[in-house]
A and B are shown apart, each in its own frame.
Chain A
Amino acid sequence: EDKVVQSPLSLVVHEGDTVTLNCSYEVTNFRSLLWYKQEKKAPTFLFMLTSSGIEKKSGRLSSILDKKELSSILNITATQTGDSAIYLCAAYMNRDDKIIFGKGTRLHILP
């Protein structure tokens, strides 16, 4: 059965801290690993990772994929209260273009 597992499920830190969110996957026909941020509405796209070991960065966020370990991490440095959200990891599959989501990590940044 295809699955995506995220940890931790929830995290509370203080503003300015650095956080690392974890994602592991077991899927057939893996194409790429996706990270999304979800606040009140639909998820917004953060990163798509297809190649192992290549870090992608966007401001204070960065992510990397390890295809050998079937995992990915999302780092957020110098966190701000606006980073409070649910971060979703998903495996994008070649078969039928499907995406399987993990349960998400609920991140709360304290001022």
Chain B
Amino acid sequence: GAVVSQHPSWVICKSGTSVKIECRSLDFQATTMFWYRQFPKQSLMLMATSNEGSKATYEQGVEKDKFLINHASLTLSTLTVTSAHPEDSSFYICSASWYNEQFFGPGTRLTVL
């Protein structure tokens, strides 16, 4: 089956620093990957659609300058949270499309102190 990995699985950082989260499709190529955010006791909210070789498409209300997305290859998309603040603390999950199905990564828990 299709496997999506994320790295790191958890990260703690100081306020004002930047954090990069990687999303990899391990055994398939994904032209499109998606980034979600989930706050405690809330559902997944789509942040952006990451397209290989082109700019990401952000959902309304998501700051593109704060959440930088790079999809440089068919197996890797990265999300960089710039100048992180405590309110950015959340569970970040990526998914990748393959044959009309979506496969989710295990998620990255970000805590900003």
Residues on A close to B: CB < 8 A?
A: 31, 34, 41-45, 48, 88, 92, 96-104, 106
Contacts and interface: CB of A to CB of B under 8 A. Distances in A.
B49 A98 contact: yes
Contacts of B106: 41-42
A3 to B, nearest CB: 11
Interface residues of B, number: 22
A99 B34 contact: yes
Contacts of B43: 88, 101-104
18 contacts: A31-B100, A42-B93, A42-B105, A43-B44, A43-B104, A44-B104, A48-B101, A92-B102, A96-B32, A97-B49, A98-B46, A99-B34, A99-B102, A100-B46, A101-B36, A101-B43, A101-B45, A103-B43
A45 to B, nearest CB: 8
B42 interface: yes
Contacts, number: 46
Contacts of B49: 96-98
Contacts of A98: 34, 46, 49
Interface SS, A side: strand
Contacts of B104: 42-45
The 10 A-B pairs of least Cβ separation, nearest first, read A42-B104, A42-B107, A103-B43, A101-B44, A101-B43, A97-B97, A104-B43, A42-B106, A42-B93, A41-B106
Nearest to A86: B43
Nearest to B33: A97
Contacts of A34: 102
A43 B100 CA distance: 17
Nearest to A6: B43
A45 B4 CA distance: 13
